[in-house]
C-alpha cells in the first residue's frame, strides 16, 4: 500500500481491505456487515506504524511530518494539522537524495545551475541534467522548508524556463504536461463548443457571457487550433460558474500592471485573448515567465508551476483546475468529482 500512497484515505484503505478478503475468503469476518471492516482498521494502524519506522530510517516523504505534538513535544503542532503529503496525484512528492549524494553535494550542483544560467550561451542539456540530479534537494526546499516563490526562484532560477517547468512536472507526476494536455483538450474541444452554443441560447448571466465570448470567437479571421484552445480555456470557468477575473487579467501596456498580492494570474494587454501574442505569468506577486505567445501556452505553464511550487489551486477556480487535473491530465486523486465537473465530463463523453 505504501508503495502506491504513503497517506491513503479511508476509502482507499477500505478498498485494500476488501481486496484482501476477496483474494483470501478465509479472512472474511462473519460478524461484520462488509466482511472486512476490522481489516480496514488493522491496516490503518499497520500503515501508521510502518510510516513511523520509515520516518526513523530517514524516508523523506514521511519524516517531513515528524515532530508533531506528543508527550515529549507538548507545544508542537497537532499531529493531524498541516500534514505535508501529495494532494494532486503527485508520484514523486518528496524523494530521498540520490545514492551517493547528500545535501552538500547537491548544493554544489545548484550553484552550477545558477552559474550556467548567468552565461550568455547556456548549455540547455547540462542544465536539464543538473536539474534532474538536484530534484530531491529542490523538493526539500519547496515542500519541507516551505520557501516563498521569490526565494525558490532565487535559489532555482531555471524554474523560470518554460522547458524546465515541463520537465519538473514530469519529474513530479511522470506525465508529459504538454502532450497530455493538448491531446485531451483537442479531443474535447468540438463537443464543448457545441455545448457552449446550446447554453448560449438560454437566458441568464452565464448564457450572456457565453454569447459575448462566442461572438468574439466567430469574428476571428483565423479559426485555427490555438483559437479553439483559447475559447475552451476562457469558456471553461464560465460553464462551471466560476469567476476567472482574478486569474485572466489585462493591463494597459503604457502602464505597469499591479501584481502585488497576486497569488497566480496570467497577464496580457488588450481584452481580446484570441489575438494577444504576449502573456506573462505572475505567482505570489513575482513575474515568473515572460513572453508566452498564446493563452493555452501560458495556462499550461501556470498549471505546471502549481505542481513545481507545491501551491494550491486559485480559490475561485477550484472546479476549473480540478477539471484540467482529472479530466484532461487524467491525474485522479481518488476523490469524487463535484457535480458540476462530473456533469461536464459526462457531457463531453457523449457522442
Q: What is the pLDDT of residues 140-159, one digit of tens each?
A: 999 988 899 999 999 999 99
Distance CA(27)–CA(30), nearest Å, equals 9
Banded pLDDT at 196 (limits 50, 70, 90): very high
92 membership: H or E segment, kind and range: none
pLDDT value at position 141? 94
Q: What is the pLDDT of residue 80?
A: 54
Phi, psi torsion values for 135, nearest 5 degrees:
-55, -45
Domain boundaries, the chain: 1-85, 103-173, 177-349
What is the per-residue pLDDT across 258-311, written as a single tens digit (0 to 9) for each?
888 899 999 998 778 888 888 999 999 999 999 999 999 999 999 999 999 999
* pLDDT value, residue 70: 53
pLDDT bracket for residue 248 (50, 70, 90): very high
Q: What is the model's pLDDT at position 289?
A: 94
Please say whether the beta carbons of 306 and 264 come within 8 A.
yes
Confidence of residue 75 (pLDDT cuts 50, 70, 90): low
Mean pLDDT rounded to a whole number for the chain: 89
Task: Report residue 53's pLDDT band, with 50, 70 and 90 as the boundaries.
Answer: confident
Residue 72 has pLDDT above 70, yes or no: no
C-alpha to C-alpha distance for 250 and 263, rounded to whole angstroms:
16
Q: Which of 69, 99, 94 is nearest to 6 (CA)?
A: 94
- pTM attached to this predicted model: 0.84
Length of the chain, please? 351
pLDDT of residue 39: 83
Amino acid at each position: 500500500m505504501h508503495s502506491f500512497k504513503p497517506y491513503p484515505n479511508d476509502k482507499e484503505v477500505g478498498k485494500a481491505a476488501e481486496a484482501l478478503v476477496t483474494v483470501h475468503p478465509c479472512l472474511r469476518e462473519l460478524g461484520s456487515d462488509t466482511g472486512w471492516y476490522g481489516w480496514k482498521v488493522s491496516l490503518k494502524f499497520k500503515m501508521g506504524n510502518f510510516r513511523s519506522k520509515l520516518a526513523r530510517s530517514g524516508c523523506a516523504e514521511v519524516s517531513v511530518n515528524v515532530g508533531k505534538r506528543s508527550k515529549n513535544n507538548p507545544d508542537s503542532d497537532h499531529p493531524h494539522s498541516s500534514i505535508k503529503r501529495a494532494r494532486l496525484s503527485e508520484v514523486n512528492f518528496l524523494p530521498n537524495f540520490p545514492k551517493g549524494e547528500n545535501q552538500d553535494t547537491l548544493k554544489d550542483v545548484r550553484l552550477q545551475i545558477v552559474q550556467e544560467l548567468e552565461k550568455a550561451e547556456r548549455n540547455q542539456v547540462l542544465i536539464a541534467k543538473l536539474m534532474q540530479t538536484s530534484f530531491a534537494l529542490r523538493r526539500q526546499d519547496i515542500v519541507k522548508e516551505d520557501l516563498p516563490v521569490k526565494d525558490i526562484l532565487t535559489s532555482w532560477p531555471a524554474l523560470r524556463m518554460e522547458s524546465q517547468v515541463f520537465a519538473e512536472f514530469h519529474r513530479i507526476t511522470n506525465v508529459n504536461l504538454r502532450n497530455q494536455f493538448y491531446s485531451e483538450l483537442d479531443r474535447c474541444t468540438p463537443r464543448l463548443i457545441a455545448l457552449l452554443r446550446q447554453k448560449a441560447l438560454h437566458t441568464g448571466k452565464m448564457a450572456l457571457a457565453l454569447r459575448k465570448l462566442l461572438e468574439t470567437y466567430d469574428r476571428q479571421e483565423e479559426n485555427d487550433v490555438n483559437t479553439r484552445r483559447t475559447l475552451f480555456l476562457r469558456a471553461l470557468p464560465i460553464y462551471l460558474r466560476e469567476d476567472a477575473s482574478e486569474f485572466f487579467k489585462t493591463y494597459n501596456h503604457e502602464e505597469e500592471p499591479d501584481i502585488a498580492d497576486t497569488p497566480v494570474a496570467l497577464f496580457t494587454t488588450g481584452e481580446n485573448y484570441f489575438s494577444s501574442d504576449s502573456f506573462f505569468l505572475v505567482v505570489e506577486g513575482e513575474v515568473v515567465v515572460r513572453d508566452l505567445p498564446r493563452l493555452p501556452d501560458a495556462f499550461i505553464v501556470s498549471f505546471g508551476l502549481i505542481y513545481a511550487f507545491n501551491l494550491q489551486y486559485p480559490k475561485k477556480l477550484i472546479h476549473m483546475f480540478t477539471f484540467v487535473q482529472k479530466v484532461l491530465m487524467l491525474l485522479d486523486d481518488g476523490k469524487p468529482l463535484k457535480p458540476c465537473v462530473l456533469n461536464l465530463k459526462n457531457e463531453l463523453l457523449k457522442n
